[in-house]
Amino acid sequence: MKTLIQALRDGDIVFGATVTEHLRPSVVKAFVNAGFDFLFIENEHGSFDMSHLSNFVLHARDNGTTVVAKIPHLERAETARLLEMGVMGLQLPRTESREDVATLHDFIKFPPVGSRASATGYGNTMYGKVPDKRAWYDQANEETFVVAHIETRAGAEHIEQILDSGGADVCFVGPSDLSLSYGMPGRYQDSEFRAIVQRIFDAAAERNIPRGYMGLDREDVQRWIDQGVQLFECVSELDLIRLGAMKFMDELRDLK
């Protein structure tokens, strides 16, 4: 079975479900049964109990699903905790410099590639013993990856140096904050905003770096697929609760 990063390098298109609050096994099963390719943990704005998050990541792995998580702080211990839970992709909000990416890349890779500390026997090894640590370190280096999250004017303006760092495995554009940074909040369809996003993606394409975007709706996803975008972070469990509740009540409102 291909890893998520290998699927991207092979040119596959992948869709991820977002988890913002409810760290329940039922959420994992619902998204896996729906056919999502990975789970994305909104670990910047969401408030999670770390032990519950660890259980959730393990359950996702038990169901053959890769977890990508935002890392709220570019800090070694914070990175290590997520990796030891079994998170495979670390997404750095507000990536704005070459140094940001190089630092995170160093944190998630074992020597000689980076400086990640050895800590096996957790969720990262499914709580099993590792008979050949060198082989496992090399495998982990192949499977873990950095998502450079471009969502500010500074990130957009420094995109070439960010991607030339050699540490960015995926270039992801966050349209909400990026549009806010440019003074056009929520105007994702404006030609001016699309041109900014396209320039970021063109820089990634020139360097053969997979691109990612929010999965807003079918039409928008199709448009970005046509532009070569492969990874989409889509609807959250809270979105689905809201949409389902509204749809149900819309159907009943005329009965009052």
Reading the chain (256 residues) residue by residue, the pLDDT tens digits are 789 999 999 999 999 999 999 999 999 999 999 999 999 999 988 889 889 999 999 999 999 999 999 998 899 999 999 999 999 999 999 999 999 999 999 999 999 999 999 999 999 999 999 999 999 999 999 999 999 999 999 999 999 999 998 899 999 999 999 999 999 999 999 999 999 999 999 999 999 999 999 998 999 999 999 999 999 999 999 999 999 999 999 999 888 7
Check residue 2 and give left, alpha or beta (phi > 0: left; psi -120 to 50: alpha): beta
Under DSSP, the state recorded for 254 is G
The residues, any chain, with a CB within 8 Å of residue 27's CB and separated by 6 or more, are 19, 56, 237
Query: Can you give the pLDDT at residue 254?
Result: 80
**pLDDT score recorded for residue 46:** 82
The answer to whether the beta carbons of residues 27 and 19 sit under 8 Å apart is: yes
CB-CB contact of 84 with 124 (8 Å): yes
3-state helix, strand, coil in the chain (%, to 5): 50, 15, 35
In the prediction, which pLDDT does 41 show? 97
Q: CA–CA separation, 105 vs 234, rounded Å? A: 25
* Residue ranges of domains in the chain, CATH in brackets: 4-255 (3.20.20.60)
- Tell me if 69 sits within 8 A of 91, measured CB to CB: yes
Instruction: Kindly report whether the global pTM for this prediction surpasses the value 0.85.
Output: yes
